């Protein structure tokens, strides 16, 4: 089931309903069970949509980490 997949490919793009200059939104683009699958999907989607930012997060961990 996709909701228990350990990796999430996320995307950051403008809301198309309101045109350019509208607010940005973050949504899940793909749920992957392995890091290899997540990298392949992110690369493929980046080629198809060069104006959209994609990144990979591990479930339960933020994309950025702060170390003391």
Q: Summarize pLDDT for 13-27 with one digit per residue, the tens.
A: 766 666 666 666 777
pLDDT of residue 1: 47
Q: Which residues pair with 9 in a beta bridge?
A: 30, 56
Q: Which tokens go with 25?
A: 């939104």
- Distance of alpha carbon 4 from alpha carbon 8, whole angstroms: 10
- Distance of alpha carbon 47 from alpha carbon 65, whole angstroms: 27
* Whether pTM exceeds 0.75: no
Nearest Cα residue to 5 out of 38, 42, 40, 33: 33
């Amino acid at each position: 089931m996709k909701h228990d997949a350990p990796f999430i490919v996320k995307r950051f793009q403008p809301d198309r309903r309101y045109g350019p200059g509208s607010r940005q939104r973050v949504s899940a683009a793909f749920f992957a069970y392995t890091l290899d699958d997540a990298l392949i999907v992110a690369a493929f989607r980046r080629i198809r949509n060069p104006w959209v930012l994609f990144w990979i997060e591990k479930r339960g961990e933020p994309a950025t980490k702060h170390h003391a």
